[in-house]
A and B are shown apart, each in its own frame.
Chain A
Amino acid sequence: MKSSIFCSAVFLFLSSCASINSVSLTPIPSERNKKVRTEKSKIIFLGFNFDNDFVDDAVEDLKKQCPNGQVTGLLTKDENINYFLYFVWKKQITASGFCVSVKDSLNNKTSDAKIATEALLNAKSEQ
């Protein structure tokens, strides 16, 4: 009897439950040689969480892994992992993508920026 209670307590303690909040993806490049990845997480006990600053370094991490390049095909997963009857849970942000050369991407960016600027100016004049 005691051992079965002990086993179920251990099972409860070690079991975890994962749920996904959101997933986002940016356009995937043809050149997919260099993968980059970052993971940021925070353990929260009984819901006591006073800031979400742990996600702030994610972009900086990706920049370090791809200096003088562009990180694209970025898959961002935002998930919750609950441990032991929801007393403890982990918020986890995982971002993975590909580092490509920046040569063409900045030209595209300039033309994209022009299109976006024109669209905004049009929207402003309509207002």
Chain B
Amino acid sequence: MKKFISAILLLFFFSCAQLHHVQLGEVTSHPDYVQKPFDIKVNEMGINLGEAKALSKAFLSAEGSKDAENIATFISLFQMGPITGNPVYVKDYAKNLIQIIYEKCPSGMVTGLMSVRETRKYPVISGEIVRVTGYCLIKKGS
């Protein structure tokens, strides 16, 4: 029994990284400017309904698992179209990225911008991540 619980715990903390999309922007270097790197990460929890259904079958009674399956099927009816990663329930989680970049680089002179869309997968849930790295150009001596 202990072994079984350990295996379940191990599975739960075991995560896989999945890369969906990478985009690079223009890169500018100039001797009069210093490049200050910045790194921004926003994430939201995604839910894998298929895995939730499978888990409910394993742990709930026959009636309970059927109800859970019906609920999962009902929810999935509203989640159509192309997606990256698992569905999230806060659709605007990456909306303030531009604002955060502006806060990190008030001069607005941003270069070497790389945006990465990735997923950290755990059983049933996942971290749906948008990561942006870049450099802020600051004039030397200012």
Contact = CB atoms under 8 A, between A and B. Distances in A.
A62 B24 CA distance: 10
A63 B27 contact: yes
Interface in A56-107: 56, 58-59, 62-63, 66-72, 74, 76, 78, 91, 93, 95, 102, 105-106
- Measured as residues with beta carbon below 8 angstroms from the partner, the interface class of chain B is 20 to 34
Interface string B7-33: 000000001111111111111111101
Contacts of B102: 116-117, 120
Interface in B27-63: 27-31, 33
B114 A58 contact: yes
Contact of A52 (B24, B28, B118): B118
Q: B-side binding surface: helix, strand, loop or mixed? A: strand
Given A50-B17, A74-B25, A78-B21, A56 B133 contact: yes
Contacts of B16: 47-50
A113 B107 CA distance: 7
A2 interface: no
B113 to A, nearest CB: 8
A93 B23 CA distance: 9
A102 B29 CA distance: 7
Contacts of A120: 98-99, 102
Interface of A: 21-22, 24, 26, 47-52, 55-56, 58-59, 62-63, 66-72, 74, 76, 78, 91, 93, 95, 102, 105-106, 109-110, 112-114, 116-117, 120, 124
Interface of B: 15-31, 33, 98-99, 102, 107-112, 114, 116, 118, 133-135, 137
18 contacts: A21-B21, A48-B16, A52-B19, A55-B19, A55-B22, A55-B116, A59-B112, A59-B133, A62-B24, A69-B28, A70-B26, A71-B27, A71-B28, A76-B22, A106-B33, A109-B111, A109-B137, A110-B109
